[in-house]
Amino acid sequence: MLKRNTLLSALLLSLFCSSGLARTLQQVLNDGTLRVGVALYTPWSMRNSYGELIGFEIDVAKKLAEDMEVEVEFSVHPWEQIILRLESGEIDIIAAGLSITPERALHVNFSQPYARSGTTLATNLEKTALVENLQDLNDATYTIAAVTGTVAEELVDQIFPRAQLELYENPELASAALIEGTVDAYLEDEPIPTFLALENLTKVDAPLPEPLLQTRNAFAINKGDADFIIFLNAWIVARESDTWLPAIHNYWFESLGWRRQLEAPTE
C-alpha cells in the first residue's frame, strides 16, 4: 500500500509540474531551470546581430539564475500578455522592466524594486540657454513636445500649462523636432531623453537629476510563494550592496557602448 501511495504521489507531482500550474521556488530549484518571461523593449531586452537576447533584464536574469545555481530559460512574450503567461504557469518569473502598480499587484506578487525609470525632459541646448530652473519653461514662449496619448502628454498639461504643447505620433518624430530646434523641450520616458543627450552632446541635454514622474521596476511571480519573494528581495539587497545592480544598470541606461553588440559582424 505504501508503494502504491508513493507512485500515486509521484504521478500527481508530475502532472502538476507539466500542467502549466505555477511552480514554487523549491520546485524551480529541484528542476534546475528558471523560466524567465521577457518582452522586447530596448534596452531592457532585445536581440543582437546573431539573434541572441541581450539587455539589462537578460543580464539580471542570468545573474539571478547563476546565484540560484540553476539554468535560465528565456521566452519572449507580447507586453500585454506577459502577466497572463505568468498566471498560466508558462513562466516562473517576469523580468521585463515591469513597473509596480496596484492593478498589477492584484494578479502577481512583486519583489522590491531593483531598477527605477520614469518620465523626464530632454531640452534643446540652444533654445533653452536662458532657462535657469524648471518653472522657466512654464511660459508661452516655449514649446514642449510629447507623443500623443502618453502619460507625458498629460504631464505637460499639469506641469507646464502655460507652455505650448506640440504632439507627435511617435518618439522618432518628437526626437527629430527637438534636435532640429522645432521644439524647445521633449517630455518622454527614460531612457530616450538620456540617449538623446548622449547621441547629440552639442544639441541636447537631459538636465533633470530625477524624473518628473518616477516608476519602480520589480520582478513579478505568481501569488502564494512567500519563500520566492523573500529570496528575490534578499538577492536584490545583496546585488545592490556589492554594486553589481547599479553598475549593470548604468551600462545599459547611462551609456551607449552596448550598441556595438547590435552591429552586424564584418567579414
Residue 267 scores a pLDDT above 80:
no
* Predicted pLDDT of residue 222: 96
Per residue in 57-88, pLDDT (tens digit) is 999 999 999 999 999 999 999 999 999 999 99
Give the architecture-level CATH label for domain 118-214.
Answer: 3-Layer(aba) Sandwich (3.40)
Distance (Å, whole) CA 74 – CA 64: 13
> What CATH number does domain 22-114+218-262 carry, 3.40.50.720, 3.40.190.10, 3.40.1180.10, 3.20.20.70?
3.40.190.10
Per residue in 189-236, pLDDT (tens digit) is 999 999 999 999 999 999 999 999 999 999 999 999 999 999 999 999
Per residue in 2-51, pLDDT (tens digit) is 444 444 444 444 444 444 577 999 999 999 999 999 999 999 999 998 99
* Predicted pLDDT of residue 187: 98
Give the mean pLDDT of the chain.
92
Residue 156 scores a pLDDT above 90:
yes
Distance (Å, whole) CA 12 – CA 19: 10
Show the 3-state SS of the chain.
Answer: CHHHHHHHHHHHHHHHHHCCCCCCHHHHHHHCEEEEEECCECCCEEECCCCCEECHHHHHHHHHHHHHCCEEEEEECCHHHHHHHHHCCCCCEECCCCECCHHHHCCCEECCCCEEEEEEEEEECCCCCCCCCHHHHCCCCCEEEEECCCHHHHHHHHHCCCCEEEEECCHHHHHHHHHHCCCCEEEEECCHHHHHHHHCCCCEECCCCCCCEEEEECCEECCCCHHHHHHHHHHHHHHHHCCHHHHHHHHHHCCCHHHHHHCCCCC
Q: For residue 92, which of 29, 145, 153 has the smallest C-alpha distance?
A: 29
* Predicted pLDDT of residue 263: 82
Distance (Å, whole) CA 23 – CA 198: 42
Q: Where are the domains of the chain?
A: 22-114+218-262, 118-214
Q: Answer yes or no: same fold for 22-114+218-262 and 118-214.
A: yes
Show the 3-state SS of 59-73.
Answer: HHHHHHHHHHCCEEE
